[in-house]
Amino acid sequence: MTDTSEPGYVRWLLIAVALIFMGLFLVVPLIAVFSEAFSEGIGLFLQAVKEPDTLSAVKLTLLTAAISVPANVVFGVAAAWAIAKFSFRGKNLLLTLIDLPFAVSPVISGLIFVLLFGTQGVLGPWLAAHDIKIIFAVPGIVLATTFVTFPFVARELIPVMEAQGKDEEEAAISLGASGWQTFWRITLPNIKWGLLYGVILCNARAMGEFGAVSVVSGHIRGMTNTLPLHVEILYNEYQFVAAFAAATLLAVLALVTLVLKSLIEWKTEGQQRENEAMPEIIREASA
Amino acid sequence: MSIEICGISKSYGSFTALRDVQLEIPTGQLVALLGPSGSGKTTLLRLIAGLEPADSGQVFFNGEDHTHRDVRERGVGFVFQHYALFRHMDIFDNIAFGLTVRPRKQRPTKAEIKERVHSLLRLVQLEGLAHRYPSQLSGGQRQRVALARALAVEPKFLLLDEPFGALDAKVRQELRRWLRRLHEKLGLTIVFVTHDQEEALELADRVVVMNEGRVEQTGSPQEVYNNPSNPFVYSFLGRVNFFRGRIADGKVKLGEAEFAVDWASEDDNVPAVGYVRPHDVDVSRSPQYPQSVAAELIYVYNLGSVVRLELRRMDTGEIFEAEMSRRRFAELSLQSGDLLYVHLKHVAFYVGGHLIHA
């Protein structure tokens, strides 16, 4: 026995409860997804994945992520920079606004866009007159996804940037660096792990978003169907193998995200330990 | 390069950091901005560097108005309190940074940069550490890297914010001496901020004492220590005793002791305060002068080279301190509870914050 105060059986009980819970809610569903997908053999699975509508859903999902993730990286870095390094009027309001997409239901977010850009919406007549389609088209999906994934990068960076302060940036400027040089050579390298972490979370959500996209997409097969929407349609049509085959693609994405996330966490923790521990060691050695 | 500050004011919301500050810093001097925390000394330093804009007033470098020039144009070397080394770069890249960000035309070649960085590493005695990272250095080493990095761009002068604040006592001593030598070698104007009066007096050619956003006094260490212009400076620079009394008929009465002063005002019988440094309190077994005061020895503090006595005046009951050499202490063979006589040499009298000459 180690020196913990709890008796052994309490510890084992707690660990068992946690493991059973995780097994029931995470592992079993994951196994179910894969076993359903492969239930009729690998041939049918491949056939389902290669189906043109599925492929077009994959393409649309990738396109949406490819637009909304970079957009949110630019916005997130700019917002985090402003919030962490400057004090200005309305800073708290900006912070609240960044959190807004977390606070409202994604379905409401989708509805907002319908109300704004739909045929009956505020900008509807003007858009119709100029022959611009946003709702029930790709732009609407991208907009809704961008809105929903808006907080991830900024939220991840604000604490990192606040903790680092602005000393290093001031030092760079006093040494003659321009604002641009300071950003690329000082700020960005210091936030890179936090930024990557935010990008991964943002990407996972952008590819997996259902509610907001469902409202604005119109579910036009091969046109405005993203992967999560496609899974739902297939499932409602009792095409279970095809539905689960498409779902495995999302599940694989989730697993890759998890692995990357743990890798980054491990990496940043290691870096922090190094930063904290080294000076002590050297001081002791030289004393 | 000389620095001139004319009527600079700065406030943050309702907090006034600097009030109408006037200051001249001649070329080549090592100047200390000394004051308690919140006195505005760091704000003043950041203002000189251009890291902070002034609300009003002007900053001149060598007679040239620099008030509206930004940090990059001012070309000053700034060393931050916590060094602000670039944590993701090794020491070489840290020191080379200022040279590598120059526009292509003014940028030295790779070989020149290497040469310059290594000569700076020699100057700050850190050869061989070029490829370490800041997190692998001790506090004193980081401080010297920060200095080398600031010197790499050949600044007009060097500004240091609490340069030794985060270091332990022994390293601090060594770095002080090293900075003094560096200043002699380079002949550069250096301004540093400190709250440690000993550091300011030991290191600086000129001490600027600040309090509540104002410059209280400027002068050589001897001047500010020996002739403080007001009670704040007196009490901030070293230990001090103060005695409350009244002034009347050209004499200050502190308890039973009377001191003749140059006082020709209509106002008579007004409160006056006398300041005496502990080493200006003479202690003996019997009264030596007419103004000698009886006091009881309460406690003896052994400080190594000197002995500090805590005493209570018999006439007023005020507690005060005296310092004497170990030898004198042994001669008198003092013990707590002894009745002694003290003579106050060099008392500075202030009435309403103004110095009265004796």
Nearest residue in chain A measured CA to CA from B149: A175
Determine contact, residues A212/A147, Cβ cutoff 8 Å. Answer: yes
Nearest residue in chain B measured CA to CA from A176: B72
pTM of the complete model beyond 0.90: no
pLDDT category of residue B205 using cuts at 50, 70 and 90? very high
Q: How many CB pairs under 8 A join A and B?
A: 74
Chain B interface, Cβ < 8 Å to A: 49, 51, 71-72, 75-78, 80, 82, 84-88, 97-98, 101-102, 135-139, 149-150, 152-153
Contact at CB, B76 and A174, closer than 8 angstroms: yes
pLDDT by 10s per residue, chain A, length 287: 455 677 888 889 999 999 999 999 888 988 988 888 888 888 888 888 888 888 888 889 999 999 999 999 999 999 999 898 888 888 889 889 998 888 889 899 888 888 888 878 788 888 888 888 888 888 889 999 999 998 999 999 999 998 888 899 999 999 999 989 999 999 999 998 889 889 988 998 998 888 888 888 877 777 788 888 888 888 888 888 888 888 888 888 888 888 888 888 887 776 655 555 444 444 444 43
Contact at CB, B135 and A278, closer than 8 angstroms: yes
Q: What is the mean pLDDT of chain B?
A: 90
Per-residue model confidence (pLDDT) at position A286 = 42
DSSP B303: -
Contacting residues of B for A184, CB less than 8 Å apart: none
Per-residue model confidence (pLDDT) at position B266 = 66
Residues B223-268 pLDDT 10s: 999 888 888 998 898 889 988 888 887 888 888 888 888 777 767 7
Contact at CB, B138 and A175, closer than 8 angstroms: no
DSSP string, chain A: --S-SS-HHHHHHHHHHHHHHHIIIIIHHHHHHHHHHTTT-HHHHHHHHHSHHHHHHHHHHHHHHHHHHHHHHHHHHHHHHHHHH---TTHHHHHHHHHHHHHS-HHHHHHHHHHHHSTTSSSHHHHHHTT---TTSHHHHHHHHHHHHTHHHHHHHHHHHHHH-SHHHHHHHHTT--HHHHIIIIIHHHHHHHHHHHHHHHHHHHHH--HHHHHHH---TTTT--HHHHHHHHHHTT-HHHHHHHHHHHHHHHHHHHHHHHHHHHHHHHHHHHHHHHHHHHHHHH-
Residues A182-205 pLDDT 10s: 999 999 999 988 898 899 889 989
Per-residue model confidence (pLDDT) at position A282 = 44
Residues B272-297 pLDDT 10s: 888 999 999 999 998 888 888 899 99
Q: Which two tokens stand for residue B118?
A: 């290594």
**Alpha carbons B53 and A175: distance in angstroms, whole number:** 18
Residue B304 pLDDT more than 80?
yes
Candidate from B80, B84, B102 with C-beta closest to A176: B102
**Alpha carbons B245 and B266: distance in angstroms, whole number:** 18
Per-residue model confidence (pLDDT) at position B73 = 87
pLDDT category of residue B301 using cuts at 50, 70 and 90? very high
Contact at CB, B138 and A279, closer than 8 angstroms: yes
Maximum Cα–Cα distance across chain A:
79
Q: In this structure, what are the phi and psi dihedrals at residue B254, rounded to the nearest 5 degrees?
A: -110, 95
Residue B204 pLDDT more than 90?
yes
Per-residue model confidence (pLDDT) at position A281 = 42
Candidate from B72, B86, B137 with C-beta closest to A173: B72
Q: Which two tokens stand for residue A254?
A: 């989730």
Determine contact, residues A110/A211, Cβ cutoff 8 Å. Answer: yes
In percent, how much of chain A has pLDDT > 70? 92
Per-residue model confidence (pLDDT) at position A275 = 54
pLDDT category of residue B300 using cuts at 50, 70 and 90? very high
Residues B25-65 pLDDT 10s: 999 999 999 999 989 999 999 999 999 999 999 999 998 89
Residues B97-124 pLDDT 10s: 999 999 999 899 999 999 999 999 998 8
Contact at CB, B87 and A190, closer than 8 angstroms: yes
Per-residue model confidence (pLDDT) at position A271 = 63
Per-residue model confidence (pLDDT) at position A34 = 87
Contacts of B66 (CB under 8 A, 6+ apart): B50, B59, B60, B73, B74
